[in-house]
Amino acid sequence: MARVIDITLNGRSRVDAVEDNLLLLDYLREKVGLTGTKTGCDGGECGACTVLVDDAPRLSCLTLAAAVDGRRVDTVESLAHDGRLSAVQRGFHEKLGSQCGYCTPGFIMASAGLLRRNPHPSEADIRAALGSNICRCTGYVKIIEAVKFAAELAAAGASP
Ligand code: FES
Ligand code: FES
Instruction: Return the closest-CA partner of residue 7 out of 43, 48, 60.
Output: 60
For residue 115, the model assigns a pLDDT of 97
Rounded to whole angstroms, how far apart are CA atoms 119 and 117?
Answer: 6
Q: How many CB atoms lie within 10 A of CB 158?
A: 19
Measured CA distances, 39 to 36, 59, 133 (Å): 10, 10, 13
Rounded to whole angstroms, how far apart are CA atoms 97 and 87?
Answer: 13
| Cβ–Cβ < 8 Å for 139, 76 | no
Q: Which atom of ligand 2 is nearest to the CA of 137?
A: 2
Distance linking the first and last C-alpha atoms of the chain = 38
pLDDT tens digit at each of 160 positions of the chain: 899 999 999 999 999 999 999 999 999 999 999 999 999 999 999 999 999 999 999 999 999 999 999 999 999 999 999 999 999 999 999 999 999 999 999 999 999 999 999 999 999 999 999 999 999 999 999 999 999 999 999 999 999 9
For residue 1, the model assigns a pLDDT of 87
Whole-prediction pTM: 0.97
| Cβ–Cβ < 8 Å for 93, 75 | no
For residue 152, the model assigns a pLDDT of 97
Q: Give residues (CB < 6 A) around ligand 1.
A: 39-42, 44-49, 59, 61
84 CA → ligand 2 middle, Å: 23
Mutational pocket test of ligand 1: of 24, 35, 42, 136, the residue with most ligand atoms within 8 Å of the beta carbon:
42
Pocket lining: 108 vs ligand 2, CB cutoff 6 Å: no
Pocket lining: 17 vs ligand 2, CB cutoff 6 Å: no
Pocket lining: 84 vs ligand 2, CB cutoff 6 Å: no
| Cβ–Cβ < 8 Å for 95, 150 | no
| Cβ–Cβ < 8 Å for 113, 78 | no
